[in-house]
Homo-oligomer: A and B are copies of this chain.
Amino acid sequence: MSFDPSLHDPEPETLALGRFLELRRDGRWEFVRRVRSTGAVFVVALTPQAEIVLVEQYRVPLRARCIELPAGIVGDEPQHADESSAASALRELEEETGYSGPLAEPLLRGPTASGMSSELIDFYLVRDVLRTGPGGGVPGEEDITVHVVPLPEAADWLDERQRGGCMVEPRVYAGLWFAERSLRGPSR
């Protein structure tokens, strides 16, 4: 099920080491590793009124604005180096959106891009979030626009945003699946 030595080099090769990304080769596979990071977090944040909190920001690789789940890199800032993944999720949510919640419930740990990167994302559900701050990101982050969208209207709203020229990160729809499921039944 797990490690298959026949597909790996004894020592993966660094093809290039940037400030943020390392291009590596292992056997016949090339992929990127995020430097100075232990993973990423994505947050499915729901208000008591069953609204989902989404962020919109300009993405240089896409040359376009993109609507996404609130998210962050874990372990990339020295002052938060010892922070747990769940604590990072709550902090990134508050920094990006101004919404705070009491508890980050783990949903899933899965790959960012299974054929292209070694990065893993922890998905969390945060219920009963409340607006406690301004949001918009910490200094140095791009400008972030916060959207609070009622779940029953989210699909149509996302369609409309795309018609307006915004991209939608596909994992937003995974977020909708987890959100709708959390409202239907008991916690995972």
Q: Are A29 and B61 in contact (CB under 8 A)?
A: yes
Answer whether A63 and B32 are a contact pair too, CB < 8 Å, given A110-B170, A114-B169, A168-B110.
no
How far in angstroms is the closest Cβ of chain B from A185?
10
Residues 1-27 (chain A) with a chain B CB within 8 angstroms: 1-4, 7-8, 15-16, 18-21, 23, 25-27
Residue-by-residue, is A64-86 near B (CB-CB < 8 Å gives 1, otherwise 0)? 11101000000000000000000
A30 lies within 8 A of chain B by Cβ? yes
The residue in chain B whose Cβ has the minimal distance to the Cβ of A188 is B159
The residue in chain B whose Cβ has the minimal distance to the Cβ of A60 is B29
Main secondary structure of the interface of A (DSSP, over half): mixed
How far in angstroms is the closest Cβ of chain B from A118?
4
Q: How many copies of this chain does the complex contain?
A: 2
Task: Please indicate the chain B residues that have their CB under 8 angstroms from the CB of A34 in the complex.
Answer: 116
Q: Most B CB atoms within 10 A — which of A7, A15, A30, A61?
A: A61
What is the CA–CA distance of A31 and B59 in the complex, to the nearest angstrom? 11
Chain A interface (Cβ < 8 Å from any Cβ of B):
1-4, 7-8, 15-16, 18-21, 23, 25-27, 29-32, 34, 42, 58-66, 68, 108-121, 123, 142, 155, 159, 162, 164-174, 176-178, 180-181, 188
